[in-house]
Chains A and B, each alone.
Chain A
Amino acid sequence: MRAQANLPALAVAVVLLTTGTVTAVALGVDAFHEAERDPVERRVAESVAERLVAGDSALTRRRGVLDGPAVDSLNGTTLDRMVPTANGRSIRIALGGEVVLSRGGPAGGTTVRRVVRVARPVERERAIDLATTRTVRLRNRTGRVALDVEPGANTTVSTVRAGRRVLLHDPTGLDGTATVRVARTDRRTLSVSANENATGTVRLRYVRANASEAVLEVTVDA
């Protein structure tokens, strides 16, 4: 048996090689599982987020600016109509940490975040006391303004202007209510022309968009 002395050595070599091969394959399996992502989940989450903040979405005023009340009334049916991709998937939509819509209770899954502005309408009322002031500055994009002109005695309110554009004019005196639109291109100063020593008030009512920043989170668990 002397001549077979290298057989044990060969056996050891075979065992070592086998161990090496098995270890390599096992490492490969681990690496493979670690590299596994769910591209479908991510895609759906991205499309939903993208469609929700798009300029032509039912939830936005313009691209990236969500309409607060519209977001509050979002439900599964409207979501599926807006984004058919979301149909039948576990999904959760949160705005600024508050869950707006949750369906199927996604556990884990993929989350996509978008920074958005959320506009909420706030009713504002202001009054111009004609005895002291004649102008008032409005915010950008004010839009429709309801005016209520209440002149005092010996007072003729002839003109209301936005910047230099005339909104209301009556040389014999304005009185009562009227609704005007302040265009985006107008200067933001609303001014009232009246005679000297005028008394009375002009009341303004308008809706101001109160915008705040928030993070929109869309979580999808396929």
Chain B
Amino acid sequence: MGDALAADRRGVSSVVGKLYELAIVLGFVGVVTAALYGSAVPDYRTATGVEVGDRTLATAATRVEAAVPPDATSLRVEVAVDLPETVAGERYRVRAVNDSTLVFDHPDAAIGGRARLALPERVVAVNGTWESTETTVVAVDGGGDDVRVRLVGR
């Protein structure tokens, strides 16, 4: 009888089959999830962030250059610049250094850069900082050979 009992496990085999299927499906989902979220997605997030960061910096620099009007004895100009609030899901900062360069600061070290501005010689100063969450404005004032450019956030 013992042999007969031991041999008669046909009712179990369907349970084992389902367990195999469950294991295979869970394993597959696990491997795919790990592959996507472990490497592909963060890589693309950074790569996209680098690209968007470059574009944002290029746009910012172009807008600052375009904000300086032709020669005038007295001028006061404010131009709003539309920048994305976040790049790669993080806030960032654009600041002016050395009266000639815009620097893009991002928590992710891979994202960022510097852009040298092409401005007329009568622009003597460029300073200020933009936080990405603010309303960003370029303010140009002065006149003649003493034109000052400021990055203002509100």
- A interface residue numbers (CB < 8 A to B): 1-4, 6-7, 10-11, 14, 17-18, 21, 25, 28, 32, 36, 39-40, 42-43, 46-48, 50-51, 54-56, 63, 83-87
A6-B21, A56-B70 given; name 15 further pairs at CB < 8 Å: A1-B13, A4-B20, A7-B17, A17-B28, A17-B32, A21-B36, A39-B58, A39-B59, A40-B58, A43-B62, A47-B61, A55-B71, A56-B120, A56-B122, A63-B70
CA distance A27 to B49 in the complex (A): 19
B51 close to A (CB within 8 Å): yes
CB of A18 within 8 A of CB of B51, answer: no
> A-B pairs with the 5 shortest C-beta distances?
A47-B118, A43-B58, A39-B58, A3-B13, A85-B118
CB of A18 within 8 A of CB of B70, answer: no
A interface, over-half SS: helix
Interface size class of B (residues with CB under 8 A): 35 or more
B interface, over-half SS: helix
CB of B25 within 8 A of CB of A25, answer: no
Instruction: Provide the residues of chain B in CB contact with A51, threshold 8 Å.
Output: 118, 120
CB of A55 within 8 A of CB of B40, answer: no
- B interface residue numbers (CB < 8 A to A): 10, 13-14, 16-17, 20-21, 24-25, 28, 32, 36, 40, 44, 47-48, 51, 54-55, 57-59, 61-62, 65, 70-71, 100, 113, 115-118, 120-122
CB of B65 within 8 A of CB of A50, answer: yes
Q: Which of A39, A63, A83 contacts B55 (CB 8 A)?
A: A39
Q: Considering the complex, give the chain B residue whose CB is closest to the CB of A54.
A: B120
CB of A6 within 8 A of CB of B70, answer: no
CB of B71 within 8 A of CB of A43, answer: no
CB of A85 within 8 A of CB of B116, answer: yes
CB of A11 within 8 A of CB of B71, answer: no
CB of A11 within 8 A of CB of B70, answer: no
